[in-house]
Each structure stands twice: as C-alpha cells, then as structure tokens.
Structure 1
Amino acid sequence: MQKLFLIIGSIAMTLAVGLGAFGAHGLKEILTDEMLDIFETGVKYHFYHAIGLLAVGLVAQLMPNSSLLQWSGWLMLAGIIIFSGSLYILSISGIRWMGAITPIGGLCFIVAWVLLAIASWQNL
C-alpha cells in the first residue's frame, strides 16, 4: 500500500505541476479572470491532496495494514478527480452544472483527512 500511494501521489504531483503551468501559460489569454480563478482553485487543491497522498504513502510505512489509511488515500485520489476535475472541466468548457459535483470531491477530501487522523491516533 505504501509504495502504491507514493507512486500515485508522485503522478498526481506531476499532473498538478503540468496543469498549473498549462493554466498559467496556456489559458491565461483564453479564459476570463473568473474561469482562470476556478481553474487555479482546482490546481491548488490538486497540489494539496497530491501531497496528502504522499503523506499517506509515508505513514503507511508505519501502519502497512491500516484499512483506514488505505481508505484515506483512495478518498484523496477520488477528491482530486471529482473536486479538481470538475473545476478543470467547468473552467475550460463553461459547463456550469459541473460545479454541482465539486462538493462531493470536497467531502472526499474532508473524510480522507479525518480517516488519516483516526488511523494515526489508533497507532500512536
């Protein structure tokens, strides 16, 4: 599990850097300021939770059999896909209803961090 989340976290970080650069250089002249801000919010949370995935991978070295930790990692990944992904699509396409699913990704992020805290507490 630890190796898997370190790999997924590293790939997520790579994508966050690439998407951030794409937004800053490729979309700056194309998107409105509002849509660029939405895209940047997606990138920001993508970064935070890619780091979270790396943290899950590192903590998993201490708790390799923790199902709570495993759920935390999968929920962080789901949050990146749902939260950041919906904001990327919304900002580039203008499809406003994509914003309606963004909170589901936010909920994934919240639960992921709570599970990381519980897993850590249980294994002190």
Structure 2
Amino acid sequence: MFRFLITLTGLLGALGVGVAAWSSHGLPAFVPAEQLPLALERARAASLHHMLHTLALLGVALWCRQRPGLWLNLAGTLFTLGILGFAGGIYLLRIIAGINEGPLIYVVPLGGFCLMFGWLALIVAGWQDSGAPQKHD
C-alpha cells in the first residue's frame, strides 16, 4: 500500500502544482472577464485543499509504511476521493464547464465529505495504533 500511496501522492502533487499554475496564467482564456474574480477565488480554494490534502496523503503513506492498517487505508482512499471530488469538481465543473446546478454539482460536497471522513478515519487509526511497528514491504 505504501508504494501505491506514494505514487498517488506524487501524481496528485504534480497535478496540483500544474493546475495552480494553469489557474493563475491560463484561466482568463476560459472564463468571461466578469466571472474571472469568482473563478480565481474558486481555483485558489480548490488548489489549497488539493495541496493540503495531498500532504495529508503523504503522511498517511508514511504512517502506512510503519504500521499498515485498515483505517489508514480508508483514510488514504477518502483523501484521494476527496481531492478528486472536491478540488477536481471545482476545477472541472464549476470553473471550466461553468456548471452550477444539476446533479453533477453534488460531486463537490461529496468530495468535501470524503476529506472530512478521511480525517475522522485518521482519528480511529490513531486510537487503534498499538505503537509497535509492523512488518512492511
């Protein structure tokens, strides 16, 4: 699981930097001028959550290396789904496609719930951690 999470962390981190750069430099070409301030603010919020939770995923990966467990795997999965749903939904649906209504917009709050539940899964993992290192790959 460690290698998978580290690979995922690297990919999500690189994607986060790329999207942040694109939103700073390329976003005006995709968004009408009157909507640009809101789009930039949404991009900043999505980018912040994207990168912060990518770092959280890195922490989960490192913890999994020492003491793998179900709750850590769940936290990693939830952080990944949350980044894709919350940040990805804002990037793709709200900013690029301009979708602000309909069933697709629920991807964003669902992603937010995944991020929150990822943190809660970390709490459970911490309480269940015996403190003794386990074997890893």
TM-score computed with the length of structure 2 as normaliser: 0.83
Tell me the CA shift for residue 100 of structure 1.
3.2
Tell me the CA shift for residue 2 of structure 1.
1.4
Which residue of structure 2 aligns with residue 104 of structure 1? 110
Amino acid at match of 1:21: A
- Deviation sequence 1:27-56 (CA, Å, 0-9, x none): 146531001211221111110111111111
Separation in structure 1 between the aligned mates of residue 54 and residue 112 of structure 2, nearest angstrom: 14
Separation in structure 1 between the aligned mates of residue 29 and residue 55 of structure 2, nearest angstrom: 29
Tell me, yes or no, if structure 1 residue 93 matches structure 2 residue 110: no
Return the match for 2:73 from 54, 70, 91. Answer: 70
Amino-acid identity (%): 29
Which residue of structure 1 aligns with residue 22 of structure 2? 22
Tell me the CA shift for residue 61 of structure 1.
1.4
Separation in structure 1 between the aligned mates of residue 28 and residue 118 of structure 2, nearest angstrom: 32
Return the match for 2:46 from 42, 45, 66. Answer: 42
Amino acid at match of 2:89: S
Which ranges of structure 1 fall in alignment gaps of 5 or more residues? none
Which residue of structure 2 aligns with residue 59 of structure 1? 63
Q: Root-mean-square deviation (CA), in Å?
A: 1.4
- Count of residues in Structure 1 that have an aligned counterpart in Structure 2: 123
- Deviation sequence 1:105-124 (CA, Å, 0-9, x none): 11000110111121122114
Which residue of structure 2 aligns with residue 9 of structure 1? 9
User: What SS class does the counterpart of residue 66 from structure 2 fall into?
Assistant: coil
User: What SS class does the counterpart of residue 96 from structure 1 fall into?
Assistant: coil
**Structure 1 consecutive aligned stretches of length 4 or more whose deviation exceeds 4 Å:** none
Which ranges of structure 2 fall in alignment gaps of 5 or more residues? 132-137
Q: Which has the larger radius of gyration?
A: 2
Amino acid at match of 1:77: T
Tell me, yes or no, if structure 1 residue 116 matches structure 2 residue 115: no
8 Å Cα contact 2:85-2:108 kept in structure 1: yes
Which residue of structure 1 aligns with residue 135 of structure 2? none
